[in-house]
């Protein structure tokens, strides 16, 4: 049995995917839209879906009319478009949290964009350091995952989010807020940075893939007025338009309440699993290990003892069918890398989580014992 604690985080647990609801939504979409689903549409998305998304986002204190919403083929596409576009502030560098979503770092490197790092710990950001970056560097935008951070799993406080919005206006820096797991939030008082934006400097990204099927590739960008024309042009040059069939299916799920009901099921399921992860780490791991204090979502970062290499441990666990992910790819090359693993509960049930953490401890003990008897440090297991 595979104990998948982080390997395939792009895809939800197949056991909780609402296949029948999805099939119904797709069939209903074909009935309602007919031939229109198979023609090129507005690069920013179906008008009716943008209206439905506008209403859905209002629950999260995002009050934006459909004219400010762009439907994208997954939040990753929105990141690519925003990184490629010129911004009104005329600046060029991108400020990223460290650690950061590894896909964003790969994207910036691919595009040859200067990336600057700022430390993000489980306790948040150093706001004085953030202000120094905003004041002294040519920051085009600050990319942040305030809620259920990847890989830490933690969330920023209200005070931090308010401060970020205020500094963005003061120093003419844009914020790209990646709120990819907003629909898994259990705290109704946890509002996004965008809700504190008074100057039109926050671009808000929402993913629908983690709740439905990632293969549908659907997300939304809430754009300041100044960005709409440029974003439309870049989106059109990227893929002309997002799949109309996927858009229509999402519209039906939002309008019928199926999406919201499934999100509630996932919140409960993942909440139980996150608690199981925390309990398993408390049961099997000693003070040399430290699990980030994740309040929800699907990720947590496990810090390892200094003398236990994350990549070697991950490789050894892979041989035992336990999948974890070293956090090294979440750091810029110039930044000191924390020795840790990203764990995810998205595809592992409570039993598998407990077994996986127990095996992690046993494997760690084996490696540390081997290290003491093999002082040369030569690894018997290489990363796959």
Q: Which residues contact 99 (CB under 8 A, 6 or more apart)?
A: 120, 151, 152, 301, 327, 330, 331, 338
Cis peptide before 99 (omega within 30 of 0): yes
Render the burial of 263-282: b for 16+ CB within 10 Å, e for the rest: beebbebbbebbebbbebbe
What does the pLDDT average to over 34-51? Answer: 88
What does the pLDDT average to over 326-342? Answer: 96
C-beta atoms surrounding 215 within 10 Å: 11
pTM, full prediction: 0.92
Query: Tell me, what's the pLDDT at 382?
Result: 26
Query: Tell me, what's the pLDDT at 375?
Result: 55
C-beta atoms surrounding 351 within 10 Å: 11
90-134 pLDDT per residue, tens: 999 999 999 999 999 999 999 999 999 999 999 999 999 999 999
143-199 pLDDT per residue, tens: 999 999 999 999 999 999 999 999 999 999 999 999 999 999 999 899 999 999 999
To the nearest whole percent, how much of the chain has pLDDT over 70? 93
Crossing angle for the helix pair 75-84 and 228-239, to the nearest 10 degrees: 110
Please check the confidence at residue 271 and state whether its pLDDT lies above 60. Answer: yes
200-252 pLDDT per residue, tens: 999 999 999 888 766 778 999 999 999 999 999 999 999 999 999 899 999 99
Tokens of 271: 């909440």
The architecture of the domain spanning 18-256 is 3-Layer(aba) Sandwich (3.40)
Least confident span in 23-37, 38-52, 292-306, 336-350: 23-37
Across the chain, mean pLDDT equals 92
292-304 pLDDT per residue, tens: 998 799 999 999 9
CA 195, CA 64: separation in Å to the nearest integer? 10
To the nearest whole percent, how much of the chain has pLDDT over 90? 79
Tokens of 374: 């093999």
CA angle 310, 298, 181 (to 5 degrees): 130
Where does the pLDDT of residue 69 fall: very low under 50, low under 70, confident under 90, or very high at 90 and above? very high
Query: Tell me, what's the pLDDT at 2?
Result: 54
Where does the pLDDT of residue 79 fall: very low under 50, low under 70, confident under 90, or very high at 90 and above? very high
Decide if 3-12+260-373 and 18-256 have a common fold: no
CATH placement of domain 3-12+260-373? 3.90.1150.10
Query: Tell me, what's the pLDDT at 328?
Result: 98
Q: Three-class SS of residue 282?
A: helix
| Residue ranges per structural domain of the chain | 3-12+260-373, 18-256
DSSP code of 291?
A: E
Please check the confidence at residue 288 and state whether its pLDDT lies above 70. Answer: yes
If one compares 19 and 116, the residue with the highest pLDDT of the two is 116
């Amino acid at each position: 049995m595979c104990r998948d604690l982080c390997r395939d985080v792009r895809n939800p647990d197949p056991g909780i995917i609402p296949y029948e609801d999805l099939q119904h939504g797709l069939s209903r979409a074909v009935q309602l839209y007919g031939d229109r689903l198979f023609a090129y549409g507005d690069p920013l998305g179906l008008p009716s879906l943008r209206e439905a998304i506008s209403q859905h986002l209002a629950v999260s204190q995002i009050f934006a009319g459909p004219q400010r919403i762009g439907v994208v083929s997954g939040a990753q596409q929105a990141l690519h478009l925003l990184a490629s576009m010129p911004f009104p502030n005329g600046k060029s560098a991108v400020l990223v949290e460290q650690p950061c979503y590894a896909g964003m770092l790969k994207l910036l490197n691919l595009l040859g964009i200067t990336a600057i790092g700022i430390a993000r710990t489980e306790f948040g950001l150093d706001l004085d350091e953030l202000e120094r970056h905003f004041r002294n560097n040519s920051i085009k935008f600050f990319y942040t995952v305030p809620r259920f951070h990847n890989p830490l799993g933690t969330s920023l406080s209200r005070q931090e989010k308010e401060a970020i919005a205020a500094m963005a206006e003061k120093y003419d820096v844009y914020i790209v807020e990646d709120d990819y797991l907003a629909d898994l939030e259990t705290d109704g008082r946890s509002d996004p940075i965008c809700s504190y934006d008074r100057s039109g400097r926050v671009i808000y990204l929402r993913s629908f893939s983690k709740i439905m099927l990632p293969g549908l590739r659907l997300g939304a960008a809430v754009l300041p007025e100044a960005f709409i024309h440029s974003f439309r042009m870049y989106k059109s040059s990227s893929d002309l338009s997002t799949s109309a069939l996927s858009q229509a299916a999402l519209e039906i799920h939002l309008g019928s309440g199926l999406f919201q009901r499934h999100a509630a099921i996932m919140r409960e399921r993942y909440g139980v699993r996150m608690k199981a992860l925390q309990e398993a780490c408390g049961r099997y791991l000693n003070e040399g290990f430290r699990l980030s204090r994740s309040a929800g979502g699907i990720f947590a970062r496990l810090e390892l003892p200094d003398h236990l290499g994350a990549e070697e441990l991950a490789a050894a666990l892979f041989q035992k069918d336990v999948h974890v992910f070293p956090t090294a790819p979440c750091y810029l090359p110039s930044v000191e890398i924390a020795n840790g693993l990203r764990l995810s509960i998205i595809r592992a049930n409570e039993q598998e989580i407990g077994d996986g953490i127990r095996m992690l401890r046993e494997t760690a003990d084996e490696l540390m014992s081997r290290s003491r008897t093999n002082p040369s440090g030569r690894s018997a297991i290489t990363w796959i």
